[in-house]
Structure 1
């Protein structure tokens, strides 16, 4: 029997994202600071943010962007990212966010696959935008640099009025982020306005943050976790958002102290630093009341170490790109901080034995755990599907989504994530498909076979490790190892680099030729 939320259901407004974010902006909130851009040194009020969004939407409309058009956004965390994304939703256009470290070839592939009509980026990111646009066949006037005099500055100066746009939020696509799903290479995830509005309403009902919070925005906005919780939810709640383009511990700590940060969304590597790094003791973090960790499982001992050191609450959440993203939140002090908690409002889950297909029940004995199985979820935040209906097995029917993650029930229906059934490696929140690295390794003359798996390094981070069968066994040493690591590093984004390598006599495989990765661990 599916486990339902212990929170009451919420009514999901039948509106688009722009209306949900700005429609209820009251006069008393207009002068509140919405975004503090730490890199740009600017503060933007809610009234100004709404005005800027409308001006950019008007400019984009005048330059040919219309409802249903897909526009790619390649931009670090900043007020510019928020304005551009919200302007696209104001027009009924579709945002496809691009990972910040994506190579020109990867950006071009996303442009082609999503059928993007425009790429918005920054000149400050280098020449990669021009190269990607050229590879994808975008005309010169379809490449917009937001940080030049002809970019956002010009858009705001023209103060164009956006057109009135109507659509059905339940079916109108809003975002097309890319995820590798349960198998294979990245594919577009079709998220509607209703999906994203629903998930904001669900997380609001979890009572994590309020309008009086100061929230630190280090999670990348191009990732659905940062996009939904920071660029959207914080704005919806009229709280104050601090944006930074990347995580750096001293910057993180200094600005928590300077700006009186009260709540921060983090990932487990940040929790490691907060628990162990000596620099933390040099800052006053007394205003911080809580953090919520997502993007990967957080170990219970690590969560308790952060709580003890900082005197704060450590919450944990769970979700996927395919679920907009939040499905579970653990903000209940009675539950283990190693659990991702129970479903959010309007959401249910089941755990299914991947071999038999039978549902695994919640254990009857208090404090015990069920057998492990694949976590399935159902709710209004679940995607419409993948672009071009790729990986249809993720949606088995009746509204359910197969997450590809192995999990156990606790005795009150809370969920403990055990491992991933899928073979994706998640390095610092980035998705690394082993098949991509294996294919590249096999192009090297000195490699006869290869497998890549995720292993845990000394910092508790999952990293890609390669197992290599060398063509010449006598050459299987440090020199070849360094050469292969460099060979891959030259051909992939930085986060996809191989971080460990081991030579083996053979790669274990099944009768059908599938790599038996667990046998390598």
Structure 2
């Protein structure tokens, strides 16, 4: 039997994103500060934000952007990003957000694949936008630099009125973020207005953030996690959002103290810094009541360390680009901090044995964990499919509304989920399955380890073995003696087949913008 949410179903309004975000903006909320742009030094009220969105939407319409057109946005976290994204949705057009550090060739490929009619970017990002547009065959007048005199300021000055647009939210495409899915090259994920509205309503009903919160916006907006929880949900709640273009620990801590930040969405690398970095003790974070970690699994010991050091609640959530993104959230203090919790409202999950295809039941004994299986989810936030890729769509969406996540998980006696690892990243050692994330979490508990990643590599006999890449807290100690110590440390705490068989010290673990270990970069 699938596990259903323990929260009551929410009513999903039959409206588009713009209407859901701004349609019920009350007069008393118009003067509330919506966005504090830390890099630009500006504060924008909700009334001004709505007005700017309308003006930019009017300008885009006047310059040929219409319903169903795809607009690419290559921009760091800022008020400009939010205004541009919401303006695209105001027109019934489709937003394809571009990773900030993408190369010109990668940007060009996304422009071509999505059939984007316009690229919104910043001159401050260099000449990459111009090169990408040229590679993609995008006309020069379709490349708009928002930070120039002919960019956002001109759009706002002209005060164009956007047209009235109507569409069916359940079928109208809203966003085309790119994801590698369970395997393979990046694919355009088709998310409708209903997908994104539904997920906001689902997360809102869980209650991690309220209108009285000051939220720090360090997660990249181009990623679905930052786009949905920060650029959208915080606006919907009428809370205050602080935007910052990139994570830098001192900037993060200084602004938490200065602005009295009360809630922050983070990824595990930020949790690691909050737990271990000595600089944290130099700042007053007493206003902070909680953080929610997502984008990659957070180990229970690391979450506990953050809670004890800062005196806050650490929550954990789970989702994918293909689910808009949230499917699970753990706000229950009675559940393990290492669990991503139970499904959000209107959502259910099941675990499927990857070998037999049979469903793995919830264990009957309290405190027990089930066998590991692939996590399948179903709900209104599940994507419409991959862009122009019926084979990948069929593989990810096996039918009856279910999505195969590609993640291996266990579940507890009340249906709480523990993510084990990516199904395709499991190391097979002598036929045994070895989850890299489990070994990484264990290594991070050692005082000598600042960061770690584990991958499967071939030994001299061609057999796959677990190899650890470690960033030592004391670089001078990184040598054979510490290597032997760490290998022995892991061996003491895991089954024999899970032992680390090789270890290498490196300067930095390669990670994506949201904190996922880029294991392929280590091979």
Task: Judge same fold: TM > 0.5, yes or no.
Answer: yes
- The answer for the alignment partner of 1:395 in structure 2 is 397
Map Cα deviations across residues 123-174 of structure 1 (whole Å, 9 max, x no partner).
Answer: 0000000000000000000000000000001000000000000000000000
Could you tell me how far apart the structure 1 residues matched to 2:83 and 2:11 are?
27
1:186 matched residue in structure 2? 186
The alignment partner of 1:231 has SS state of helix
Please report how far the alpha carbon of residue 498 of structure 1 lies from its aligned counterpart in structure 2 after TM superposition: 6.8
Q: Is the 8 A contact 2:316 2:340 kept in 1?
A: yes
Distance change (3 Å), C-alpha of 1:197 and 1:149:
same
8 A Cα contact 1:16 1:194, kept in partner: yes
Give the 3 Å change call, closer, same or farther, for CA 461–196 of structure 1 in structure 2.
farther
1:422 CA displacement = 2.8
- Mapping for residues 347-426 of structure 1, pairs under 5 Å: 347-388=347-388, 389-391=390-392, 392-423=394-425
Q: Secondary structure at the match of 2:206?
A: coil
Distance 2:459 2:169 in 1: 49
> Where in structure 2 are the equivalents of 1:121-270 lying within 5 Å?
121-270=121-270
1:433: which partner in 2? none
Maintained 8 Å contact 1:290/1:313? yes
In the other structure, the counterpart of 1:517 is none
Are 2:59 and 2:160, in contact at CA under 8 Å, matched by a contact in 1?
yes
SS in structure 1 of the partner of residue 409 of structure 2 = strand
Q: Deviations over 1:461-517 (max 9, x none)?
A: 547787699xxxxxxxxxxxxxxx9xxx9xxxxx9697646xxxxxxxxxxxxxxxx
Q: How far is 1:182 from its partner?
A: 1.2
Q: Deviations over 1:340-397 (max 9, x none)?
A: 0000000000000011110000000000000000000000000000001241210000
Residue 119 (structure 2) aligns with: 119
Give the match for residue 437 of structure 1.
none
Q: Which residue of 2 aligns with 1:311?
A: 311
Does the 8 Å contact 1:465/1:500 carry over to 2? no
Tell me how far apart the structure 1 counterparts of residues 119 and 519 of structure 2 sit (CA, whole Å): 26
Aligned residue in 2 for 1:344? 344
Q: More displaced, 459-468 or 144-153?
A: 459-468
User: Which residue matches 1:40?
Assistant: 40
Distance 1:201 1:461, change over 3 A: farther
| TM-score normalised by structure 2 residue count | 0.84
Q: Match of 1:68?
A: 68
Distance in structure 2 (CA, Å) of the matches to 1:18 and 1:30: 16
Question: What is the match of residue 23 of structure 1?
Answer: 23
The whole-number CA distance in structure 1 between the counterparts of 2:264 and 2:391 is 35
Partner of 2:446: none
> C-alpha distance in 1, partners of 2:64/2:425?
41
Change (3 A) 1:156 1:424: farther
**Structure 1: tracts of 5 or more residues without a match:** 426-452, 470-484, 490-494, 502-521
The answer to whether residue 121 in structure 2 is matched with residue 109 in structure 1 is no
1:225 counterpart SS class: helix
Structure 2 CA distance for aligned equivalents of residues 10 and 408 of structure 1? 27
Q: 1:195 to 1:99 in 2, by over 3 A?
A: same
Judge conservation of contact 1:463–1:498 (CA < 8 Å) in 2: no
Between the aligned partners of 1:372 and 1:498, the Cα distance in structure 2 is 24
- The TM-score, its normalising length taken from structure 1, stands at 0.84
Structure 2 counterpart of 1:322: 322
Counterpart-to-counterpart distance in 2, 1:371 and 1:189: 30
Whole-Å separation in 2 of the counterparts to 1:38 and 1:202: 29
Q: Distance in 1 between matches of 2:426 and 2:61?
A: 39
Contact persistence 1:269–1:459 (CA under 8 A): no
SS of the residue corresponding to residue 424 of structure 2 reads coil
Given that 1:289 and 1:313 are in contact with CA atoms closer than 8 Å, whether structure 2 keeps it comes out as yes
Is contact 2:453–2:519 with CA below 8 Å preserved after alignment? no
Partner SS, residue 198 of structure 1: helix
Counterpart Cα distance in 2 of 1:184 and 1:230? 28
Q: Relative to 1, partners in 2 of residues 1:209 and 1:421: Cα closer, same or farther, differing over 3 Å?
A: same
**1:329 touches 1:344 (CA, 8 Å); kept in 2?**
yes
Quick check: 1:463–1:499 contact (8 Å CA) kept in 2? no
**For residues 40-82 of structure 1, what are the alpha-carbon distances to aligned partners after superposition, in whole Å with 9 as ceiling and x for unaligned?**
0000000000000000000000000000000100000000000
Distance 2:66 2:425 in 1: 38
8 Å CA contact 2:455, 2:519 repeated in 1: yes
- Counterparts of 1:437-448 in structure 2 under 5 Å? none
Deviations 1:426-458 (A, max 9, x none): xxxxxxxxxxxxxxxxxxxxxxxxxxx999484
- State the Cα distance separating 1:183 from its structure 2 match: 1.5
SS at match of 1:154: helix
Gap change, CA 1:260 and 1:51, over 3 Å in 2: same
**Alpha-carbon RMSD:** 2.1
- Counterpart for residue 9 of structure 2: 9
2:278 aligns with: 278
Q: Secondary structure at the match of 1:339?
A: coil
Q: Counterparts of 2:456 and 2:386 in 1: how far apart (Å)?
A: 29
2:35 touches 2:79 (CA, 8 Å); kept in 1? yes
